[in-house]
Chain A
């Protein structure tokens, strides 16, 4: 051949290149770097349990119920219960609400709970291990049960003492059966017992019992709830036929009260008042009237509850206060007055000359509850090894709030009892948020990747609608749309290959969950 090379240091007589561009580290061009940092979803930020909803949604979407449950229990050990009773503040904030229809979060959560009930097997649940520490929990409401669950999982021996003949607290004696079927609670209690938790009912703890408990256990948790209705502090309150909302519901559930007769007046505007009104109506009351001192807009009861009450036939009278209960030995009527329109927190002004009378046979005072904590432990806080959780501390809240409180108590107790000891690595408990976390906005999501789609009945399909806000769902969109091949598509974790990333930000803009952000990152070399 004529073209044998004259220039020995120059291989081709023509330009034929074979070296991969990978030697060219285009990452040096970058001034902003994509960072994958999980953020808080709006639903989670409004969940009393701070539940990692997008995480377990993602697992349900994959049909992996086992892992969905394992994630769920980091936040909530009783998803079936919460699925039934929670008011679902999460749904109100669901990003999908701004797109088509919010995710049916409670429905999916309930399904995880029901899956757990169906698939529960003791041997698969927690590892057997020697339990060196013992804790006693007073009260078997949601806070107490939650704390018991977590402590037990962490390897602490737990005994629950319940003063009533049934366990479950408000779950058993406060929440109407139509909101929480009792076999759901029964199943949860069964599971807890099977896991080794001892529940003793009809066991009331008074302040004199405390020293004894302190001696026999490493710690005491008081989760006695807020089970006493607040007094009305008006004339005639002592008459027969006047009862509290919590007490009324408890008596009904325990069978002490079989039926309700005549006209019933319920005083109060919270969930307990509405529950009591409904229960009275369902149990035979001729007429049930709920009196609330402010306007309809201000009613603290959840709209679902109010709707259920209206459907049950409860009358509502707003801007009305009862000033006196009238009767001889037994209530006969009340004297009431109209009030000026006011907001919660403002003082109530009764308008002169608006006085009127209502006849009645039963008055249910459901204007607030209080705790007996101070009676059980007069010098709490301050006593060694005594803790408290749930409504007993916070005042009446929600079931979810109580479960959260129990979870927090378990974490605190465990770190006190076993300080320095690592918890079981296969079992995690979510720590409370500090309120400073970034919450994903709808605008930071790339919702355009989804078609508009209303709710599905089937939970797995419905979970597939979840935007997984703030979570890396491993969807791979960052990898798909990277013009610089600087996302590793082979590993499955879609790690950024910063040697090549030019920092264009397409991955961040295209990310459907908002888990990515562009940040100024100073490299180690610099």
Chain B
């Protein structure tokens, strides 16, 4: 198969085209803009046959898709930081209405002050909106995950957010194997052929409810979410058969005998993976774990990987911050390890604001935790090292 050099945003736009998306509505925001520019370009040249609408705000972009998805159309948008936050109430609406919308969020720091750096707090702030969230580590994964997301969203009727870092993935070129249209069509069913609504079948959709009814709606959402990890595994098997690639829910290396485990998400996983062999030569044996699926939380998979008595220390690298509580992945991890046979200590390296993870920085952080016994209440700030 021919490999092509493309950046994360180009890969995303290509995936949307291959997925035969029917309605795209979008609003530009750095570093996502080139996705919608690419789609607009394809649309203008007639190579993207779906509807493309350039709306006046991210809020309307998501509202537009809610409408299109009510009608039954396969729909997509992309955004970043402030734009995602501006959509916030609509994200709840989309999941409550079980609309299978797929959205790319390219991580960027939330203002103030203004910044373009790839902080993850924008998407992690949407943790409780009822969306599936998948964090990607490289350009190929972006393309493949978007294709998977449409199938996942449509089968679960839960909207899906594909997340990756601004610039370090969105604008970074990597060699990618672009799938053929026939392959995609074999994996992803063709989009709906007729409208989901019809005036001759009167319905009152998302009308005012009482608490018990609403609680059932929420319960249904949760119960479906719980089935998502297994569903992804099955889909990845099919994906592998067609494309020759697949991705685990949680990526891990060397956890069988590691004493220290480095946990992260997104493109930082690439950095950690590449320096892992050199890190292991110093002091203790190192392992690696990357959150890929974040919502639903694959807690059983992670517990199985880390619920291991020989692991003494875990360093969670968070390029995000819940001020007053610390890194968000670290919190999630410590909560899910409760009640497992994990007996180690959890340390945090916080890179919020989008601080770049260099091998040097990682080494310094590892040195800091090497001598420490308990450091649970202390965050190692990347900016201090």
Contact = CB atoms under 8 A, between A and B. Distances in A.
**Contact, chains A and B (beta carbon distance below 8 A):** yes
Given A2-B156, A3-B157, A16 B220 contact: no
A342 interface: no
Contacts of B156: 2-3
B205 A16 contact: yes
B224 A18 contact: no
Interface string B369-384: 0000000000000000
21 contacts: A2-B156, A2-B228, A3-B156, A3-B157, A6-B223, A7-B220, A13-B98, A13-B217, A13-B224, A14-B96, A14-B97, A14-B205, A14-B206, A14-B217, A15-B97, A15-B206, A16-B203, A17-B204, A17-B207, A18-B202, A18-B204
B114 interface: no
A14 B98 CA distance: 7
Interface in A173-210: none
A6 B98 CA distance: 16
Contacts of A7: 216, 219-220
B257 interface: no
A60 to B, nearest CB: 44
B209 A15 contact: yes
Interface in A268-327: none
Given A10-B216, A13-B217, A14-B98, A3 B203 contact: no
B157 A18 contact: no
Interface string B36-70: 00000000000000000000000000000000000
Contacts of B203: 16-18
Given A7-B216, A13-B98, A13-B157, A2 B204 contact: no
Nearest to A2: B156
A1 B153 CA distance: 11
Contacts of A14: 96-98, 157, 205-206, 217
Interface string B114-127: 00000000000000
Interface in A12-26: 13-18
A17 B202 CA distance: 9
Contacts of A16: 203-205
Interface string B148-175: 0000000111000000000000000000
B219 A2 contact: no
B132 to A, nearest CB: 11
Contact of A2 (B97, B209, B231): B231
B245 interface: no
Contact of B224 (A2, A10, A15, A17): A2
B160 to A, nearest CB: 12
Nearest to B221: A13
Contacts of B227: 2
Given A17-B203, A18-B203, A3 B98 contact: yes
Nearest to A1: B155
Interface in B197-236: 202-207, 209, 213, 216-217, 219-221, 223-224, 227-228, 231
Contacts, number: 53
Nearest to A14: B98
Contacts of A17: 203-205, 207
A15 B217 contact: yes
A3 B224 CA distance: 6
Interface in B65-79: none
Contacts of B219: 6-7
Interface string B339-375: 0000000000000000000000000000000000000
Nearest to A9: B216
A5 B157 CA distance: 12
Nearest to B156: A2
A7 B157 CA distance: 17
A14 B209 CA distance: 11
Nearest to B228: A2
Contacts of B205: 14-17
A13 B204 contact: no
Nearest to B155: A2
Contacts of B217: 13-15
Nearest to B227: A2
The 7 closest A-B pairs by CB, nearest first: A17-B204, A2-B156, A14-B98, A13-B220, A10-B216, A6-B223, A3-B224
A5 B216 CA distance: 11
B373 to A, nearest CB: 45
B220 A15 contact: no
Contacts of B97: 14-15
A462 B223 CA distance: 73
A188 B141 CA distance: 104
A95 B256 CA distance: 100
Contacts of B157: 1-3, 13-14
Nearest to B98: A14
Nearest to A18: B203
A15 B207 contact: yes
Between A3, A5, A10, A15, the greatest number of chain B beta carbons within 10 A of the residue's beta carbon is seen for A15
A5 B204 CA distance: 20
A364 to B, nearest CB: 83
Nearest to A15: B206
Interface string B273-297: 0000000000000000000000000
B298 to A, nearest CB: 16
Between B207, B217, B220, B227, the greatest number of chain A beta carbons within 10 A of the residue's beta carbon is seen for B220
Interface in B95-115: 96-98
Between B96, B97, B224, B227, the greatest number of chain A beta carbons within 10 A of the residue's beta carbon is seen for B224
Contacts of A10: 216, 220
A13 B205 CA distance: 12
B209 to A, nearest CB: 6
A34 to B, nearest CB: 29
Contacts of B98: 3, 13-14
A11 to B, nearest CB: 10
Given A3-B156, A3-B220, A6-B220, 18 more contacts: A1-B157, A2-B155, A2-B157, A2-B228, A3-B224, A6-B219, A6-B223, A13-B217, A13-B224, A14-B97, A14-B98, A14-B205, A14-B206, A15-B97, A15-B207, A15-B209, A16-B205, A17-B204
Contacts of A6: 219-220, 223
A1 B220 CA distance: 13
A12 to B, nearest CB: 8
A14 B221 CA distance: 9
A6 B223 CA distance: 8
A115 B96 CA distance: 72
Nearest to A10: B216
Contacts of A2: 155-157, 224, 227-228, 231
Contacts of A5: 220
A213 B221 CA distance: 100
